[in-house]
Amino acid sequence: MSNYTDPICGMSVSPETAQATAVRNDEVYFFCSKRCKQLFSNQTSENRRQGGKQTDKDLAKKATKKAD
């Protein structure tokens, strides 16, 4: 079976050893860690349309803004 690329960190992931998966728009994504899946799940629709990737730093900024 072929490997897939984790959409957050770019690591090569095999479906047999993936730590997490997600389905978006009928496409299955494989993740090296639960953290990468969490970051993927937290991406905004606008960020996805632009093809961007959110990082821990991006999420921290949002959390800070919500706390203000």
Which has more confidence, 2 or 45?
2
What per-residue confidence (pLDDT) applies to 42?
A: 87
pLDDT in tens, 22-40: 998 899 999 999 999 999 9
Token pair 């978006």 is at which residue? 24
In this model, does residue 64 exceed pLDDT 90?
Answer: no
pTM of the model: 0.64
Q: Give the DSSP letter of residue 24.
A: E
Distances (CA, A) of 1 to 22, 31, 46: 18, 16, 33
Contact status, residue 40 vs residue 22, Cβ threshold 8 Å: yes
Integer Cα distance of 67 and 33 in angstroms: 27
Coil, strand, or helix at residue 64?
helix
Give the domain ranges of the chain: 4-63
In this model, does residue 5 exceed pLDDT 90?
Answer: yes
The pLDDT mean for the chain works out to 78
Using DSSP bridges, classify how beta strands 20-24 and 27-31 pair: parallel, antiparallel or unpaired: antiparallel
